[in-house]
């Protein structure tokens, strides 16, 4: 973890309410793990007082990209920030995804990635890492409408198969991404038992955890919780696990799905 000032390289709108901001790291970005996040002060004023957490979307040599959605005053301010400006940042923070907890290698070289809504944000960096390990990846993206499906082309370059579901049916399967996943699993599991990774709304992650349990798949989930400090001091992002309460910012945001009390 480091506190540093970073120069904004770019800040572009890519979809309704969605932006990608890139900033220059003062040191090599190679130590940043997919699933870790940065706590960013969006401006130099007193308000908003608290920093906001943003997952590492893409990790390059000396550059980090974050994908964010404009949902309130802080992200409105961030969306207005221009190239060349400076950001006050703490990070990388938290514990990211593990390729395999036991061996450091991907079991069976097969992986399933499930992204719900804005949960797609940290999963591009994960897909890149898995691809570097030679994994065959099936990606499932769920969104409200076709206009809210982001990162499709990025995933196409990295994964073997890509499935899309929208609630209104304007792109791909009409319905929930968990329903589409369930429909496709039989064929996927006929070849191997993959490791599953997911990020998105808690209701989706709960369903994903149940699917993984039924099929005896190892599953890691990245939880989204409101954070104040981002370093485990304020205790504001506690989540109940089978061994007691854990902090999303410090012990997560990535957890083994079977450890969470849903």
Residues 133 and 43 in one domain: no
pTM value is 0.93
Output the furthest CA–CA distance in the chain (Å, rounded). 56
Please report whether residue 37 resides in a domain: yes
Residues 155 and 207 in one domain: yes
Residues 121 and 43 in one domain: no
Owning domain of residue 15: 2-93
Structure tokens at 79: 């969306």
Please report whether residue 102 resides in a domain: no
Residues 244 and 129 in one domain: yes
Alpha-carbon separation of residue 2 from 6, 25, 29, 37 (angstroms): 12, 11, 12, 12
Residues 11 and 51 in one domain: yes
Domain boundary (41, 70, 93) is at 93
Residues 79 and 187 in one domain: no
Residues 16 and 81 in one domain: yes
Q: What is the mean pLDDT of residues 153-166?
A: 92
Q: What is the mean pLDDT of residues 49-73?
A: 94
Q: What is the mean pLDDT of residues 132-150?
A: 92
What is the C-alpha to C-alpha distance for residues 17 and 151, in angstroms, rounded to an integer? 14
What is the C-alpha to C-alpha distance for residues 22 and 35, in angstroms, rounded to an integer? 17
Residues 137 and 85 in one domain: no
Give DSSP secondary structure letters for 182-242.
HHHHHHHHTT---EEEEES-HHHHHHHHHHHHHTT--EEEE-----SSSSSSS-TTEEEEB
Domain count, the chain: 2
Is the pLDDT confidence value at 63 over 70?
Answer: yes
Query: What does the CA dihedral 206, 211, 217, 223 come to, rounded to 10 degrees?
Result: -20
Please report whether residue 98 resides in a domain: no
Residues 137 and 223 in one domain: yes
- Do the beta carbons of residue 97 and residue 35 sit within 8 Å? yes
Please report whether residue 215 resides in a domain: yes
**The domain that contains 199 carries what CATH number?**
3.40.50.80
Residues 38 and 150 in one domain: no
Q: Where are the alpha helices (DSSP H) in the chain?
A: 73-79, 123-132, 152-158, 177-189, 202-214
Please report whether residue 16 resides in a domain: yes
**The domain that contains 80 carries what CATH number?**
2.40.30.10
Q: What is the mean pLDDT of residues 216-237?
A: 91
Per the model's pLDDT, the better-predicted residue between 54 and 15 turns out to be 54
Please report whether residue 100 resides in a domain: no
Q: What is the mean pLDDT of residues 59-80?
A: 94
What is the C-alpha to C-alpha distance for residues 236 and 133, in angstroms, rounded to an integer? 36
Domain boundary (36, 66, 93) is at 93
- Provide the pLDDT for residue 227: 84
What is the C-alpha to C-alpha distance for residues 148 and 165, in angstroms, rounded to an integer? 11
Please report whether residue 101 resides in a domain: no
Is the pLDDT confidence value at 102 over 80?
Answer: no
C-beta atoms surrounding 30 within 10 Å: 11
Residues 209 and 171 in one domain: yes
Measured in degrees and rounded to the nearest 5, phi and psi for residue 149 equal -85, 110
Is the pLDDT confidence value at 28 over 80?
Answer: no
Domain boundary (70, 93, 116) is at 93
Closest to 197 (Cα-Cα) out of 252, 123, 144, 248: 123
Residues 25 and 148 in one domain: no
Q: At what angle do helices 177-189 and 202-214 cross, to 10 degrees?
A: 20
Backbone conformation region of residue 203, classed left if phi is above 0, alpha if psi is from -120 to 50, else beta? alpha
């Amino acid at each position: 973890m480091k506190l540093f000032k970073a120069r904004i390289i770019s800040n572009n709108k890519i979809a309704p309410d969605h932006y990608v901001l890139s900033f220059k790291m003062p040191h090599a970005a190679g130590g940043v793990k997919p699933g870790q996040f940065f706590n960013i002060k969006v401006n130099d004023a007193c308000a908003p007082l608290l920093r906001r957490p943003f997952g590492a979307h893409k990790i390059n040599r000396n550059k980090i990209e974050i994908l964010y959605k404009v949902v309130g005053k802080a992200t409105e301010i961030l969306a207005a920030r221009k190239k060349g400006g400076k950001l006050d940042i703490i990070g990388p923070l938290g514990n990211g995804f593990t390729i395999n907890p036991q061996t450091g290698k991907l079991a069976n070289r097969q992986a399933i990635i499930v992204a719900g809504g804005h949960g797609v944000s940290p999963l591009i960096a994960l897909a890149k890492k898995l691809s570097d390990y030679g994994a065959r990846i099936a990606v499932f993206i769920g969104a409200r409408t076709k206009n809210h499906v982001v990162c499709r082309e990025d995933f196409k370059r990295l994964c073997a198969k890509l499935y899309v579901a929208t609630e209104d049916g304007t792109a791909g399967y009409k319905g929930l991404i968990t329903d589409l996943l369930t429909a496709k699993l039989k064929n996927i599991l006929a070849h191997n038992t993959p490791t599953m990774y997911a990020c998105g709304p808690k209701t989706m992650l709960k369903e994903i955890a149940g699917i993984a349990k039924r099929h005896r798949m190892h599953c890691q989930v990245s939880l989204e919780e409101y954070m104040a400090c981002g370093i485990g001091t304020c205790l504001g992002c506690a989540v109940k696990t089978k061994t007691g309460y854990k902090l999303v910012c410090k012990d997560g945001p990535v957890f083994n799905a079977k450890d969470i009390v849903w």
